[in-house]
Chains A and B, each alone.
Chain A
């Protein structure tokens, strides 16, 4: 039987969910028997080289590059999983959702305590190469269809492992009380 192909990415996240994924420790040896990685920071493949079975998405969408990557994942993965609070509800980046974008940018580049008086030209970075910031941080499922959601900040390593194992083998997924947490 050919191996299940997995892709992962971190959008507007902190890579904490990927770190938690690595917290499966020695089970990573079992994992590598079951799956092959495609586009992922784990193997540093930058672009999809084939269709994948499972895409694990950390982080929500805070800029147009996130939206582009997420749509690319939807096009290349049969099953997409939101991993962690940021993918599910925007998470900590979404704390800015109640503040107008202009105010956020001015605070970051013009008025914040660490920049006030130091940005004499008063420029807010606007190079065309830079991704365009969205008005709000969006949960992944508001941008594309997501099939499953794993809560947690980060999701416990056991939860990521159990969910991935269940998806790969088709075994039923158990959700023990201790592993489903929102923090």
Chain B
């Protein structure tokens, strides 16, 4: 077992193993720090910045920053939570997130964070960016309107040789997720389902499966995101 070290989150004394990142160490201490791009067990990327915390006056991503002895982490202060809410609102206005017509609605991490922060309306202007829906792949639908470019699919869905089935294409604000058609031509149903589930929003959807969970039984219908880690007031 690694060396145990002490640190504090919002004044609460916590213990963690040396080398652990802040998100995982917080989870072990029943403290929920929101994440979108992070996947437990896979090298963190710090892409979405939702897990932003303040340490020593500096903002840093809790998924990529390791804990240190005596570290004092600020996570639930009003301005940190407001920063996170602003990121959620930016994501909602930058893409085209029509929740009522999305089959991921109710089980969507982005939407669940919108609920967590009680986003009644984003403070930014809706962009209505022109994005495509692609259904040419035999097993998957890609809806670029909903993609938040978190790279979860690229990092998690690989073939037996470790090659990613997904990749970024194009540049700048035109960046979008592509599927490697050669590598994914023999994609199994299990892999297609895994890709659907690894996507935090409804950008990758397995075909012939739509709206499979009834309203009222979906992941975030009754329980807020993070309530598996921490008892949240709601």
Contacts and interface: CB of A to CB of B under 8 A. Distances in A.
A74 to B, nearest CB: 17
B168 interface: no
Interface stretch (B43-51, B62-70, B125-133): B125-133
B120 A139 contact: no
Contacts of B118: 175, 180
Given A97-B128, A98-B130, A142-B125, A180 B120 contact: yes
Given A85-B100, A95-B101, A136-B128, A180 B115 contact: yes
A176 B118 CA distance: 10
A59 interface: no
Interface in B100-149: 100-102, 105-106, 111, 114-115, 118-121, 125-126, 128-131
Nearest to B105: A183
Contacts of B125: 142
A90 B126 contact: yes
Contacts of B126: 89-90, 94, 139
A182 B234 contact: no
Contacts of A71: none
Given A94-B128, A97-B128, A180-B115, A153 B100 contact: yes
A180 B113 CA distance: 12
Main secondary structure of the interface of A (DSSP, over half): mixed
B211 to A, nearest CB: 11
B17 to A, nearest CB: 33
A172 B131 CA distance: 41
B178 interface: no
Interface string A123-149: 000000000000010010110000011
A151 interface: yes
Nearest to B102: A183
Given A82-B121, A150-B120, A151-B120, A182 B129 contact: no
Contacts, number: 66
Contacts of B222: 177-178
A12 interface: no
Contacts of A82: 121
A62 to B, nearest CB: 13
Contacts of B105: 182-183
**Which of B119, B121, B130 has the most chain A CB atoms closer than 10 A to its own CB?**
B121
Interface in A59-107: 82, 85, 88-92, 94-95, 97-98
26 contacts: A85-B98, A85-B99, A85-B100, A89-B126, A90-B126, A94-B126, A94-B128, A97-B96, A98-B129, A139-B126, A149-B120, A149-B121, A151-B119, A151-B120, A176-B234, A178-B221, A178-B222, A180-B115, A180-B120, A181-B115, A181-B221, A182-B111, A182-B114, A182-B115, A183-B102, A183-B105
Interface of A: 82, 85, 88-92, 94-95, 97-98, 136, 139, 141-142, 148-151, 153, 175-178, 180-183
Given A98-B130, A149-B120, A183-B102, 5 more contacts: A90-B128, A97-B128, A98-B129, A139-B126, A153-B100
